[in-house]
Amino acid sequence: MCEETKMNVFLPRVRSDGSQMGRSAMSEDDDSDGSSDNIVSSPITRVPSAPFQRTFRSHSLNADDAMLQILFLAPYSPLLKSYVRTLLKTDCENRNIDVLMNYFTARKLLPQLLQTLAKFEVEQTNMCNPLFRGNTIFSKTYIFYLNKHCSDFVKETSSALLDFLSAIQFDDKSSASTTMYSSIVSTYLSLLNESKRIIPKNLLWVIHGIYKVVLIKRNSTEALIGVNTLFFMRYLLIPFMKMPNLFKYIQSLITPIVCGKQVIQKNEEFYVIQELIDIITKEVLAPNTPRSYYMTKDQERTSNEMLVLLRTNREALIDNYDGDEMELSNLLADPVLLKESVLLKWAK
């Protein structure tokens, strides 16, 4: 057990006649002749109280969790990279994805996880291939994040328009319906303009960070295509996939603007699209993650789940770890049974 968790317990000692000795009396007797014939130690029959055991356990768990967060949030985190290589190699390992997302969600750190996973994908994707397509680890995590934390903006815009079209029995497959496309798009742009204030700030920060990574690793064109994919194709326009023809029409109008192929002036109807692009590509403040000195139940549960999973796969994780192996090895070493350790300490 580490030095900071050791306890100095004063054990009262009694004379052979049953009277208890104070600290001063003990010192005098101890200094006299060194004899302990007339001294007996009182037997230990107590155990640590439940509150003490909980505090002791929480302290140790907090220490492990603090180290986990440091390793997971390091730039280009070797631990996260090893986790992906070792535990997320196949599509069937969805539980391991859940453990990862739940751990970061409980700490309000899912945006940071998304940015790091996106960096990995940019690094690992061939320069000839488009980014953020297919069913990758980043894509799965991103969709989970959008559904759980970013649905309000879509509900007020795309979904609201789709509900209206369904109510008036708009037939997307009818050629006659194309005559309504212009008025539908005008209504949609108005909804976007009215609701842009409720775009999730954390989502803007996530996409902005990814935009900057692609800008550096590839070029400005690819970076804007990434914005189009992440914000429009995989988020804002998803509800329109129920009406494929309308989806393609709206996509054909928005994509050239997002990718910089069409310049929009301030007085034009589509200027709201340009505003959305500017919001994403300009500097976005990092999300404010409040610091907590106590673990919530969700944090404690997800920390336990994560540590069990990591320790179960300790050797494989260390083999795939690009950082300081000793640092990871110490964290994933078989934990001491804290409760039994405390009881043993008290029994000595």
Q: Are 107 and 131 in contact (CB under 8 A)?
A: no
Helix (H, G, I), strand (E, B) or coil at 124: helix
Q: Is 188 helix (H, G, I), strand (E, B) or coil?
A: helix
DSSP string spanning 189-206?
HHHHHHHGGGS-HHHHHH
> Residue 284's pLDDT is what?
84
Say what the pLDDT of residue 321 is. Answer: 96
Cβ(262)–Cβ(256) under 8 Å? Answer: yes
Q: Which two tokens stand for residue 202?
A: 């954390």
Whether the CA torsion 340, 63, 110, 83 is positive or negative: it is negative
- pLDDT of res. 153: 98
First-residue to last-residue Cα distance in the chain: 15
- Whether the Cβ atoms of residue 44 and residue 13 lie closer than 8 Å to each other: no
Spatial distance between the Cα atoms of 344 and 190, rounded to a whole number of angstroms: 70
The rounded distance, in Å, linking the Cα atoms of 192 and 155 is: 11
Instruction: State residue 285's pLDDT score.
Output: 82
- How many Cβ atoms sit within 10 Å of the Cβ of residue 273? 22
| Half-sphere exposure at residue 10, Cβ-oriented, CA atoms within 13 angstroms | 5
Task: Give every residue of the chain whose pLDDT is below 70, as ranges.
Answer: 1-61, 90-93, 289-293, 335-348
List domains and CATH numbers for the chain.
3-43 (no CATH), 48-107+307-348 (no CATH), 110-281 (1.10.506.10)
Whether pTM > 0.85 for this model: the answer is: no
Q: Report in angstroms the alpha-carbon separations of 101 from 69, 94, 141.
A: 13, 11, 7
**Three-point CA angle 204, 119, 104, nearest 5°:** 65
